[in-house]
Amino acid sequence: MTAEYQLSITQTMYFQVEIPFPAEFPMFTSFSSQSAFVNRPALGIMPPENFPEKLAESLLSVAPSGMSRVQTMACGSCSNENAYKAMFIWYRNKERGHNIPSDEDMSSCMINQSPGCPDLSILSFMGGFHGRTMGCLATTHSKAIHKLDVPSFDWPIAPFPKLKYPLEEFTRENAQEEARCLEEVEDLIVQWRQKGRPVAGIVIEPIQAEGGDNHATPDFFKKLRNIARKHGSAFHVDEVQTGGGTTGKFWAHEHWGMDDPADIVSFSKKMLTGGFYHKDELQADKAYRIFNTWMGDPSKNLFLAEVLNVIRRENLLEEVTRSGKTLLQGLYQLQDQYPNLLSSARGQGTFCAIDIRDDATRNSIILKARDKGVLLGGCGDRSIRFRPALVFKEHHVHMFLNVFSDVLAEHN
């Protein structure tokens, strides 16, 4: 394998492959790259000279529809925390009619009091995961172990649709379930406004990942986006897990087919750096409002630019779509073969999952697979999630299904 494959392989969190690459690997021999590795700049005040170009080559070359701005951050949690702050700032500026803050705003915020620190909220969904710092954690509702013992905010939590799979076989029931959840979203927005804690933003994953690979239809997301618009809340799509190509599109929200899918899209993981894209109006009105010392790490943009080159040159999104279809087909077959063990196979691209009879069996399957050389992860209460790298091809699918089938036979 070549050095480029090495880069693509490291995009996944579930493979760590040590493959030698050539000593003349240009990333380590060009002076400007070496400088980017050794120097860790305070990006917000002293970016390297070529930083805008590097952003154009890397992050901005894959900007979501309607967004030409990006803010880098060092990790996924910081990305979402700062995205929330951008939404709060935007919302309060609207409320103030874009006038300058009052003296009371300025003095009360210093001691954590309203109106300077306003009673605003972010609406999130049960089963969602958006990180573990205290702002993010107030919108995370996937497992108690993440949240226990940490103080939180009184923010609204809506139900995420619990759909039946395959989605296309249960369209009527699924549409009803989605309508129920959307109605609840609107009720919560009204309730929290009445409580004096308006919803400044809605945050959602295109596929609830940590919470159990829960899908919803494009129709659900379109209607939700419209509800946000109608009530003056910003719409934040968290693509930390789903972004980077694994669903067969670069961003999972592209499957919704919308020109204006979101006000903010956050990312991390496969993107090798954290950060968020945003629409022009979500730009903070003053410097130093969205800011910290490092604001990311420019050396990661160099890696990302290389990864994007490989994705394009090798048509990896098409490959992901192809191997994802084969993977899901294989999971359907295994589900037919082991109806007491498996259910609800689902996925988009290679971002697939399947439910296992119970938690204990799920964990045993993950351990047995590991002993046979396949790293799987759990999500939700009793699901297994599949997160292969972008270089996972059809023949890898067959290799995997053989191993998985053997492991399942031991558990039937």
Catalytic residue among 238, 263, 297, 355: 238
Of the candidate residues 119, 183, 187, 281, the single one contacting its own copies (CB under 8 A) = 119
Instruction: Rank residues 172 and 287 by Cβ distance to its own copies and give the closer one.
Output: 287
Sheet with 351-356, strands from edge to edge, namely 342-348, 351-356, 383-386, 377-379
Binding flags for its own copies, 148-187, as an x/- string (CB under 8 A): xxxxxxxx-x------------------------------
- Nearest to 237, CA basis, from 73, 384, 66, 389: 66
Instruction: Rank residues 286 and 313 by Cβ distance to its own copies and give the closer one.
Output: 286
- Residue 187 has phi, psi (to 5 degrees) of -60, -45
Instruction: Rank residues 129 and 392 by Cβ distance to its own copies and give the closer one.
Output: 129
DSSP 388-399: --TT--HHHHHH
Distance from C-alpha of 185 to C-alpha of 235, rounded to nearest angstrom: 13
Catalytic residue among 12, 72, 88, 129: 129
Catalytic residue among 269, 270, 279, 300: 269
Which of these segments, 71-79, 184-192, 315-323, 388-396, binds its own copies (CB under 8 A)? 71-79
Q: Is 129 a catalytic residue?
A: yes
Of the candidate residues 234, 272, 320, 345, the single one contacting its own copies (CB under 8 A) = 272
Which positions from 120 through 149 interact with its own copies, judged by CB under 8 A?
120-121, 126, 131-135, 138, 141, 144-149
Catalytic residue among 2, 94, 293, 372: 293
Q: Does 386 bind its own copies (CB under 8 A)?
A: no
Instruction: Rank residues 154 and 318 by Cβ distance to its own copies and give the closer one.
Output: 154
Of the candidate residues 1, 46, 367, 409, the single one contacting its own copies (CB under 8 A) = 46
Which of these segments, 76-84, 169-177, 352-360, 389-397, binds its own copies (CB under 8 A)? 76-84
The answer to whether 324 and 349 have CB atoms below 8 angstroms apart is yes
User: Residue 254 to residues 107, 118, 228: CA-CA distances in angstroms?
Assistant: 43, 34, 18
Q: Does 268 bind its own copies (CB under 8 A)?
A: yes
Q: Is 269 a catalytic residue?
A: yes
Measure the CA angle with vertex 366, ends 365 and 368; round to 5°. 65
Q: At what angle do helices 218-230 and 171-194 cross, to 10 degrees?
A: 20
Q: Does 195 bind its own copies (CB under 8 A)?
A: no
For the chain, the first-to-last Cα distance in angstroms comes to: 37
Beta-sheet pairing, 383-386 with 351-356: antiparallel
Instruction: Rank residues 375 and 399 by Cβ distance to its own copies and give the closer one.
Output: 375
Which positions from 295 through 314 interact with its own copies, judged by CB under 8 A?
297, 299-300, 303
Q: Does 117 bind its own copies (CB under 8 A)?
A: yes
Q: Does 50 bind its own copies (CB under 8 A)?
A: no
Q: Is 350 a catalytic residue?
A: no
- Nearest to 201, CA basis, from 235, 231, 176: 235
Residues 6+ apart with CB under 8 A from 16: 10
- One-letter amino acid for residue 402 of the chain: N
Q: How far is the CB of 318 from its own copies (least distance, A)?
A: 25
Instruction: Rank residues 195 and 289 by Cβ distance to its own copies and give the closer one.
Output: 289
Instruction: Rank residues 106 and 190 by Cβ distance to its own copies and give the closer one.
Output: 106
Q: How far is the CB of 59 from its own copies (least distance, A)?
A: 16
Binding flags for its own copies, 10-29, as an x/- string (CB under 8 A): x--x--x-x-xx-x-x-xxx
Contacts 24+ apart (CB under 8 A), 179-185: 181/220, 182/220, 182/223, 182/224, 182/227, 184/158, 184/159, 185/123, 185/158, 185/224, 185/227
Q: Is 12 a catalytic residue?
A: no
Distance from C-alpha of 211 to C-alpha of 207, rounded to nearest angstrom: 9
Q: How far is the CB of 37 from its own copies (least distance, A)?
A: 7
Distance from C-alpha of 138 to C-alpha of 121, rounded to nearest angstrom: 10
Other beta carbons less than 10 A from residue 38's beta carbon:
8
Instruction: Rank residues 147 and 322 by Cβ distance to its own copies and give the closer one.
Output: 147
Distance from C-alpha of 394 to C-alpha of 13, rounded to nearest angstrom: 20
Q: Does 315 bind its own copies (CB under 8 A)?
A: no
| Number of chain residues interacting with its own copies (CB under 8 A) | 90
Which positions from 277 through 296 interact with its own copies, judged by CB under 8 A?
286, 288-289, 291-294
Beta pairing partners, 385: 353, 377
- Nearest to 319, CA basis, from 311, 307, 330: 311
Residues taking part in catalysis: 129, 238, 269, 293
